Structures are given as structure tokens and as C-alpha cells.
Structure 1
């Protein structure tokens, strides 16, 4: 009895540590979900405004002005594609005005589209530009006004920007864009001067402040590159603050990645280039590259081609650019991690289901049913093993009592008993072990892929990648009180706790009283632990529990020995 009380107290302490300590480490190692897309106010669901960002820019803080004012200060070429809207700044030949028409800031119907790029001098400046090194060549000034061949850039309608210098060189930047998020940049120098000139093209991306999305152990945001055949998720912003981060490679790319958005400079994949990340004034960060110089004789010209990706990290699109257009590991901009081999097939299957049922919540349920169907033969063996283990419990207890003072002999006798009865004690663990990478893979899919962002399910669930907004403790928003993180229990987590309770009730009853008490409390502890996670993950677990309950009833009929009390 004393040991039972001690075990129960130990379990209570562990449960308290899980409830109160887990939130302190989860955001660093396992971020639970995206920020809520809605909240309950007076019993009604209201879309939350976009998350505010920092205002520091590449220019002086005093120069920060309204974006519309800044855009009107220079001549521009309009960008119009099925996925992008914006403009090119002819002063400095910058791509500095870009919104993603297919994605909104919030789930509200009148929400603005996601703004990715913004001009210098405006809040949250973020822009890209291309030019030439001033090493033996006099390139156009940073504020030079270029001449455009057309007033609109669209798929199949490239635009040529041109200007000249005082020494006889003519510079051209031809910009083309596809129906996705890829710009092709052809930089040409025509040497009409009297002497040879070295020509080395470069490109840069400049952004103000760090990413709004936190960088964690499982999800990288910030500077990223692919160099020498490897994807590099280092350095981070703090490393860049400490000093420039440089590398040289043939093929690859570099840029800045947020959870869902990416800007990437992609030099000619057959060329060797120098890349670097560096910090500037007023919390500005820059990624840039420069190719090796080549000498252009008088009367000759040189064209150097690169590409620039600016858009959403859509899985199929990144795979297309990687596989069909030869951009080295652009698909690694999505930080799949160690379980990539499991996560991508699960995503593609889930996305395939979604394209047929048009609801990701239903797709998750069908994915779960598929997984459980595939695991059914293993589950049958698990239950058979559990029945056999339960049948030999009296013999095991007798051996433990007989050899309690000789642990080595006891282990030998137990193993001999397993062999004699043809029982494998690890067989019951196999389905659980298989479920772990599947569960983690779905977690990563919900957290990483933009295809899951703002995907509704039913009723009040407007975003499967966010926690359940219908918190019970404040009566669904009727009480003007925001519960703390560990008490923000919604309806879906409660359903998860109930499903776990009934599943545990169907499990074979433990002989030890402490174990019975632990299993009685465990569903409700896990309910609190899972509450902050994405609703889609909870839907998966609830479906798994419900299928397990039906499966257990079926298998109990085949193995009635599991329901019988253990003989003493």
C-alpha cells in the first residue's frame, strides 16, 4: 500500500511537470501550432487581425513613410501574373513591390493579400536588385533611373531595362516572370568603349528586421542557402549580426525563408559564385551573390543569367523548379527535417485526397483510416501477443517471487518462459512505434506546408493548422477573459480526452492499483498537453482513437482471454 501511494504521488508530480513545464520548452523544440486565426467574442467567432511586424527599414528610421507615398515617388513598371501583383522601381532597377494574390493576411473575407516585398523608406522594407561590381567597370549609380521597354511585366511579356554610363558601356536587365513565383534576370553589358572591361554581375535581397515567424529546432526561418550540394539552415540572424557569413560554391542559391514565404537568389547553376549574408544599419539584413568576372573586349557584349524566386513555398511548385528547371535543392526551402522520407509522401497523399473531397479535415480523417487499415494486420498480432502475455502473467509473477533475490536468474527464467509459450513481449509495441513517425510527419505537414494554412474544417474551425479557438473556460468568449496558455482548452481537445478515456477503458486492466489510477488520469493530462497543438493533429488522434475502439471490440471477440481477469 505504501509503495502504491508513493507511485501515485510520483505520477502526480510528473503530471504537474508535464502540464506546467512542457509549455516552457515546446515553443523552442516543438512549436505546437500556428497562431489562432480567429477568436470567440461574446459567443461569436471573429477573425483576428494580422500579426504586427517591426517597422525598422533599410533606410533611416526617420525616413519611414506611408508605402503609397513611397511607391508614387519613382517611375514604375507594373507586374501582373496569375499569382503576383506589384511593380518594378525604375530608380535603381529594384523589384520592391510585390503581393501574393492567392494568400490573405487573415481568414476575413475582406483581408488584404500577403505583401512580400516593400520599397525602401516604407515600413517593413524588403526588396531585390541586380547590378555589376565596380571593379574596373563603372556601373550605373544606385539611384539611376532606367528606361523600360514596356509598362507591364507579365508571363510571356518580358521587360528590358536599359541605361548607359559615361565610358561607353550600355547596360541592360531583361526581366521575365512565369505563372508561379520565378523571375528570370538577364544582365547584359555592351562594351562600346575603347578598352576591355571586367564584368561581374551580382544580385541582392535586402530585408528589414528578422522574420515574424520564430526560428525553432524543428522549423527554420531566416537566412538559408544551398551550397556545394548541401542545404544550410545556418547561419541565423544572430550569426549574421556577429559578422558577414561568406561561402563560395558552384550551383545553389541563397536568400531568406519564413515559414511560408521565400525569397531566393539563384545564379546560373553551372557557374561558380561568391555568396554572403551580412547585417546593415537599422536592423537590415542582406543576402547577395557575385559571379566571377569576365573580360569584355571593345565592341563585344556579355550576358549573365540568374533567377529570383519571390513567393509562397508551395510543395508541388518547389519540386517542379527543382526537378524540371534544375534549381539545386530549392525544395529544401521547406524544412522537412529527418523524417522527410515519410513526410513528403504523407503530404502528397493528403493533398491528393483533398483534391477529391475539398476539405482538409475530411482528408485527414481519410488519411487516418488508410493508415489504420494498413496497420490492421499488425494490430491483430499485437492483440494476440497481449492475450498471450496476459495468459502467462501468473507464471511470471511466480518466477518473480521465486527469484526476487537473484535478478540474473529471474531474467533467464522469464526469457525461457517467453520461448516456451512462444510469446514476444515487444510485439505489442510495434504499432505504436510505427505510429510515431506518422504522427510526427503529420505534425510537420500541418506546421510547415502552406497548403494547410487557413484551411477550414467544420463550424467554428477556420484553420486546421491553429489551435481550437472555442475555449471552454471563458464560455466561448462570453466572459471577457483570455485564459492562460495551459488552460486554453477548446471543444476538440475535450473530445480528444473523451476518446482517449474510452480507449483506455477498453485496454486490459492492469493488476497494479497504481497503474489503474495512472491510466485513469492519463487521458486528461494528455488533453491539456495536446490542447495547444493544431486542430488537424487532434482530428487525426481522435479518429485514431475511435478506430482503435472499434478495432478493439472486434479483436476482443477473437481473443476473449483479454477480457478475463488475470488468474492468481
Structure 2
């Protein structure tokens, strides 16, 4: 490797560090949703304030926050979910995911997604009505309504349940709740008008969260908070940005912005879980996000157009609720089979979505074939290296030619002496005459940067990598290597230092050590640089990366080790095929020898 290529690689590594630092300090700006924005429907006069399902005023019920331990509940039992529905407001406020546990321990509790008011991280969904015409505002079911069970005992994929409430004024309200075998609920809300006059009311669904979740990651690479799709436009707003726009419960004002939304969804997303309201596609509705500062409440709403119900008739509106794990197969099923607009974008694919999406698709399908995420990552590395092989081939050929020109370049240095301009001109002439591109050597490294970021994103945000084992001590590819010198790399029954602690930065696992060795071996394909400063930088580089990446996900470190090994084999074979003979063991020996200072050399003045 010549001096030009070394400088290019150093510049690339510096760029990598700058990108990492910039992304950490200046994450991408999120599109904030105006939490007080009212989104009207086509059938509503935009100059008239819309009835709000949760803001106390003359036309809507007040927020109810008391617990109701004596209220009846209906059990939820599906292959993926377990929990119950409270008759207080018909809230779905008790929901856990049967296939997921909090930790890798066999006796660890299963993940709880929704919790009733009164518990830490209370979080629930509720559905109801607001009066619009011909009906008293107090005669519609709201958050404090006590419903009765009309049909059904347990909610399962094959047995829906129906809740009923008679207002005693001529209208009977029903909510038929059904659920599939994954994570989707359907709430069919109906008004049966047994009175003598036409009435109208507006159905809504809401998701309310009491405070920011206590287990939020708060990591720059991950979005947690509001997620909303509005007619094909994705909006993501973190909890900290939501609180910048509080909603005053004491005031009722018409919003400045009036929108008509024909399709989309709105909800809250966590690292691996999500709760989202999904109105029927093609039906205009308004979706709103609010933050009630006095009570530290986050709330999203999906409010439908008024249902006009003549005497003796019934009107029904259905709103779906996704509450569960952000599994790729489930999300794509709902997008492709049930028409949820761009639902796949509820997974945080990041800036490099054009790479993260296909990389995950390939990794997911490899895992289906192989049956192990660790081996699938190795297979993915082979495929990615095969795809960029044509560019890598040109790069390594150029490096081989550069080695052939090394004697000529040494002669050029002797002739040019301290004349840098003459040296540069001579080098450019030499490159041109031999059709060598000095920049070609850094191209494979430049290609690796977006691939590295994309795979880092995929491993970090997708639930398919959560608690995914590989071999031996690697039981979670989304977590750092749990081995360390403290437990003799898994031979002793002691836990490694907690990730993020100072000790974890020192006592790193076996995979990061193998990463450092693979980078060191790759360096030895070329002689050490003659410049002492460059020689020191390159000597320390593998070991700096080894400790720097020690706290990264095991899957990412595994990818980098495989990439280094494949690159070593490719570069060695290609350079050999073009006459260059990399002396790996000779370079190792020369690197281990200490050079004595030249007695005749004098310090520069």
C-alpha cells in the first residue's frame, strides 16, 4: 500500500468518525405533529369547532383517570396475546405478548404492552362517541361509561365479544370487538336509534399513555414516540418534541390547520412494540396528537365523520387497533393483505431506508432457510461481498499495480528530494502512464460505510434480532458479547460487566478481540508505512477499533469479522493473480521488530 492510499484510508476513517459524531450530536430533524391540530372531515363545516372526545367542554365528557377495580373484565386469549378488557369505557388496558419475555431468563416475565390506570406506565386504548346533533352530550358513551357484555365470554380469534350500553333516551350503543391470531383488533361501533328523531354522533378511538415510558431507550439511532401516516406522509415525533406543544384542557379553540385525511394511522411506537389506531381506508377522518402537561398525559386520537342515524335505523363504523410486536411478517401482512397504507414504515428504517429495507429482507429470508440469525449474518456478508466484488476487484488490481510501481516511486523520491511539487507531478505522470488510479484502493472501504450503518440499524431496531442466539455463549445477537476476561470468556459462571460501564470498555468479549485480530491480519497484506506517524496510527488502529466496538451488538461485530476475513482472502488472491506477492508473515515479523534510530539522522530545524 503506498502513501496515497494510506492517506485516503485515514481520511475515510476520519470521515467515519465525523459522521458518527455528527449523527450523535445532530440527529435528523423530526416532523412534528401539531398536537392541538384539528383535522376536519369533508362533511363538516370547517368554521365550526369540532367536538373533542377527551377535552371537557359543553359537548364532550371529561377525562376519567380513576381506577375501577370492581368493574367486570373480559379475558383476551390469542396465540400471541393475553390480557383483558375493562368495562370502564370499554378500555383495552391489560395486554401482554406471550411469545416475548423481558430478559433471556427462562422465568422472566412476559412483555406487558398495555397497563390500567393506577399502575406504573399506564397505557390503554378506548373507543367512544361524541354528540353532534339531536342527542344530548351526556347521552353518548365516553371514557367513564360502564358497559355491559351482550355476547361472548372470552375474546379469541374465533369468538368476538359485544359490549352494549343503553342511554335510556332512545339510542343503544354497541361495540363488537374481534381480534385475529396476530396483533390486530377491530372495534365495530354502532348506534341503534330506537327513538323518534334523527340523531348524529361522531365515533372515535384514542390511545393514552401516562408519561414517557420508563424503559425508553432514548438513543439517537432509534425513534420512540408518536408515529403517524397521513395520506402517504410519514411523521415521527419524539416524546420530548411532543411536550413542546401542550394542549390546554381549559380552552376550546378552533385549530389553525384544517386537514382532510383519507388514509393512514396514528399511534405510539417503542423499540419493539407499537399501539396504533387504523381507521378504514377511504373514509375521511382526523388524527390528532395532544400532550396534557398538568397530568403528563400523551394522547393520540382518530375521530371519524358523524354518523347520521334516522329513527329505527342503525349505523356502524369500524376502527382497527394494532397492539403488539413490530414483526416484519405481521406488518407486511397487514399492509399487503388488509390495505394498511405503508404500514411497513412503522418500523424505523432510518436515513438509509433504501439499504436497510433490502438488507433486512435478505437477512430475514436467509434466516428462514438457515434457521439461525448468526449463520444468516455470515451468509449475508458473503452475498454483499459478492455483489461488490467487481468494484473490489478493480481496487485490488490497482493496489497490485501500485506495488509494482513501488521501485519507480522510490527513484522518483530520490530525484525530487524536498521538492513536493515535482514529486506530485512525477507521481501523476507515473500513474497516467501505467493507467493506475490511486483513489481506487479506498473504494471498498467507502462502500462499507453505508452498509455498516444500515446493518447496525437493522440489528438494533428489528425485533427479529432481539434475543436471537448464534452459537455457544452468543445468546443474543442484538446485545454485546457477554464474554470477557472476568469470566474467562464464558468458561466461568460469572456475568460480564454491564454494557456501558467502564469495566465493559476494558474487559471486552471474545468477538471484539477476534475483530481486532482480523483487522490486524488484513493490514499485514501490505508492508508498514515508512512514515513513523502513519506507522504508529496503523499499528494502533485495529486495537482501537477492537475496544471501540466492544459494546456494539454481537451481530454487527460478527459481520465485521466475516467481512475482514473475506476481504483478506479476496485481496490476497487477486494481488497474487496479478503478480504481487503479499508477504504476510514477513510483514508481521518486520512489524514486531523495533527499528533503531538512524545515528546519522538529524532532527529537522
TMscore range, shorter length: 0.7 to 0.9
Distance 1:424 1:101 in 2: 58
Select which of 79, 83, 88 maps to 2:85: 88
Shift of the 141–340 alpha-carbon distance from structure 1 to 2, 3 Å rule, reads: closer
Alignment of 1:341 with 2:354, yes or no, is: yes
Secondary structure in structure 1 of the residue aligned to 2:441: helix
Shift of the 479–270 alpha-carbon distance from structure 1 to 2, 3 Å rule, reads: closer
Structure 1 position 26, deviation (Å):
5.2
Question: Counterpart in 2 of 1:380?
Answer: 393
Distance 1:309 1:268 in 2: 13
Alignment of 1:107 with 2:128, yes or no, is: no
Shift of the 208–542 alpha-carbon distance from structure 1 to 2, 3 Å rule, reads: same
Question: Counterpart in 1 of 2:289?
Answer: 277
Distance 2:143 2:390 in 1: 67
Distance 2:487 2:23 in 1: 26
Select which of 546, 551, 563 maps to 2:570: 551
Contact 1:129 1:204 in 2 (8 A): yes
Question: Counterpart in 2 of 1:147?
Answer: 148
Question: Counterpart in 2 of 1:240?
Answer: 243
Secondary structure in structure 1 of the residue aligned to 2:312: coil
Question: Counterpart in 2 of 1:73?
Answer: 70
Contact 1:473 1:487 in 2 (8 A): no
Question: Counterpart in 2 of 1:256?
Answer: 268
Contact 1:86 1:98 in 2 (8 A): yes
Distance 1:59 1:301 in 2: 28
Alignment of 1:168 with 2:200, yes or no, is: no
Alignment deviations for residues 82-115 of structure 1 (CA, whole Å, 9 cap, x no partner): 1111111122111111111111111111121111
Distance 1:447 1:29 in 2: 16
Select which of 523, 540, 544 maps to 2:559: 540
Secondary structure in structure 2 of the residue aligned to 1:77: strand
Alignment deviations for residues 189-221 of structure 1 (CA, whole Å, 9 cap, x no partner): 122223222221111011122132234443210
Matches within 5 A, 1:471-510: 471-472=484-485, 477=494, 483-484=502-503, 486-510=505-529
Question: Counterpart in 2 of 1:206?
Answer: 208
Distance 2:207 2:117 in 1: 12
Which consecutive unaligned segments of at least 5 residues does structure 2 have? 1-5, 29-62, 248-254, 588-605
Matches within 5 A, 1:515-530: 515-530=534-549
Contact 1:256 1:264 in 2 (8 A): yes
Secondary structure in structure 2 of the residue aligned to 1:170: strand
Alignment deviations for residues 46-97 of structure 1 (CA, whole Å, 9 cap, x no partner): xxxxxxxxxxxx987xx78xxxxx6x52211111111111111122111111
**Length-normalised TM-score, structure 2:** 0.78
Matches within 5 A, 1:177-196: 177-196=179-198
Task: State the aligned residue count.
Answer: 518
Distance 1:235 1:381 in 2: 45
Distance 2:503 2:314 in 1: 65
Name whichever of 548-557 and 522-531 sits farther off. Answer: 548-557
Contact 1:468 1:491 in 2 (8 A): yes
Shift of the 209–473 alpha-carbon distance from structure 1 to 2, 3 Å rule, reads: same
Alignment of 1:131 with 2:115, yes or no, is: no
Name whichever of 346-355 and 92-101 sits farther off. Answer: 346-355
Shift of the 26–463 alpha-carbon distance from structure 1 to 2, 3 Å rule, reads: farther
Shift of the 141–333 alpha-carbon distance from structure 1 to 2, 3 Å rule, reads: closer
Distance 2:529 2:401 in 1: 15
Structure 1 position 465, deviation (Å):
0.3
Alignment of 1:428 with 2:441, yes or no, is: yes
Distance 1:479 1:77 in 2: 44
Secondary structure in structure 1 of the residue aligned to 2:146: coil
Structure 1 position 266, deviation (Å):
0.7
**Length-normalised TM-score, structure 1:** 0.83
Q: Greater relative contact order: 1 or 2 (C-alpha under 8 angstroms, separation 6 or more)?
A: 1
Alignment of 1:116 with 2:113, yes or no, is: yes
The alignment yields a C-alpha RMSD, in angstroms, of: 3.4
Which consecutive unaligned segments of at least 5 residues does structure 1 have? 1-6, 31-57, 65-69
